[in-house]
Amino acid sequence: MTYYALGLIGHPVKHSLSPAIHNAALTAYGIAGEYRLFDVPEPPNNEPRMTALIDSLRAGIITGLNVTIPHKQVVLSYLDKLTLAAQSIGAVNTIYQIGDRLVGDNTDAPGFLKPLESYTHRLKDDKAALIIGAGGAARAVTYALNQQGWKLTISARRLPQAQELADSLAKLQLVQESETDPGQYSDDRHAIRVVALDNIQRVMEWTRVDLVVNTTPIGMTPHEDANPWPDGCNLPHGAIIYDLVYNPPETALLHAAKAAGLECIGGLDMLIEQAALAFECWTGLDAPREAMRKAASEQLH
């Protein structure tokens, strides 16, 4: 019988909910295994520990790994193959083995989209989203939305960071289209706007906003009162508000959105979905999402 030796590489990792989520999934199936935390020091001191863990994967001592901050980019160079999502985002959050090859995947992008599906059927084709933040999670979110044809505005406190993300996405889309339809694309259609966080209210002057996504840690425990949306500025009328922060489950942003009668999605939905997709990569089994969610919720209370 297969023993599933799973785990998470990151730093720091001690507050991660992943062991509770994945161990609950293993228990729900009654399969042997354990999900452990592997604290790997920040680069450049990560090399010996990272190499040892990757060697354990190749030797089959470890079955599969998740990867989190600050190793999501660093780990790319240790792997044999990347999925299209991982390659496009430039980050890996899940590693599994196919034959003798180590594959790096990114389940954050589909994990983000899944909870959104039940809210977007009412939207027209020219859907427009405003993403707050331009870090690692924003890369997965913008890639996912861009692939689904959303018009995007990225808002960050450091404008060059937002611009770099917008440029890399536009370039990626140009490459994809030039491969499928050479000569039939134009730069203009791929324009992704960027705006300084201080000026976020100006976005609603130039575009309708159907979706706001907070990808910053603003509002996370122990700063529950903090809100990335500026004081005194109305949230966009009729928009879906999606906060990637999952602790607390209802952030100040979501609380304000609910009070304004807007539809809300919390970060726990994405956390469970990205974990469920990783579990399915490792085991080939349908992830027991309800058991995984229950275990995460218990940790948060």
Site string for ligand NAP, 180-219 (x = CB under 6 A): -----------------x-----------------xxxx-
246 binding ligand NAP? (CB under 6 A): yes
**Separation CA 244–CA 213 (nearest Å):** 7
Task: Give least dist CB 216 to ligand NAP, A.
Answer: 3
Task: Give least dist CB 82 to ligand NAP, A.
Answer: 19
Measured in residues, the chain has a length of 301
Tell me if residue 125 falls in helix, strand or coil. coil
Both structure tokens of 237: 């009328």
Q: What is the bridge-based pairing of β-strands 101-105 and 94-98?
A: antiparallel
In the complex with ligand NAP, the residue whose CB is nearer, 5 or 9, is 9
In the complex with ligand NAP, the residue whose CB is nearer, 174 or 291, is 291
156 binding ligand NAP? (CB under 6 A): yes
- Taking contact as CB under 6 A, which single stretch among the options 15-23, 36-44, 170-178, 244-252 is the one that binds ligand NAP? 244-252
Residue 208 CA: distances (Å) to CA of 61, 163, 201: 51, 21, 12
**Separation CA 65–CA 67 (nearest Å):** 6
Which of 19, 104, 115, 136 is the binder for ligand NAP (CB under 6 A)? Answer: 136
Do 65 and 57 contact (CB within 8 A), yes or no?
Answer: yes
Task: Give least dist CB 201 to ligand NAP, A.
Answer: 15
Residue 63 CA: distances (Å) to CA of 30, 76, 129, 272, 277: 17, 18, 37, 20, 15
In the complex with ligand NAP, the residue whose CB is nearer, 64 or 136, is 136
In the complex with ligand NAP, the residue whose CB is nearer, 5 or 295, is 295
- Taking contact as CB under 6 A, which single stretch among the options 80-88, 132-140, 144-152, 256-264 is the one that binds ligand NAP? 132-140
Q: Which residues of 183-193 are buried (b: 16+ CB within 10 A; e: fewer)?
A: eebeeeebebb
In the complex with ligand NAP, the residue whose CB is nearer, 5 or 116, is 116
Do 237 and 260 contact (CB within 8 A), yes or no?
Answer: no
271 binding ligand NAP? (CB under 6 A): yes
Do 163 and 156 contact (CB within 8 A), yes or no?
Answer: no
Residue 269 identity (one-letter amino acid)? D
The answer to whether 14 is a known catalytic residue is: no
Q: Which residues of 141-168 are buried (b: 16+ CB within 10 A; e: fewer)?
A: bbbbbbbeebbbbbbbeebebbeebbeb
Task: Give least dist CB 278 to ligand NAP, A.
Answer: 11
Which of 244, 253, 264, 295 is the binder for ligand NAP (CB under 6 A)? Answer: 244
* Residues binding ligand NAP: number (CB under 6 A): 25
- Taking contact as CB under 6 A, which single stretch among the options 117-125, 131-139, 146-154, 256-264 is the one that binds ligand NAP? 131-139
Show contacts with ligand NAP in window 28-87 (CB under 6 A): 69
Active site positions, annotated: 72
* Binding stretches for ligand NAP (CB under 6 A): 69, 108, 133-138, 156-158, 161, 197, 215-218, 220, 244-246, 267, 270-271, 274
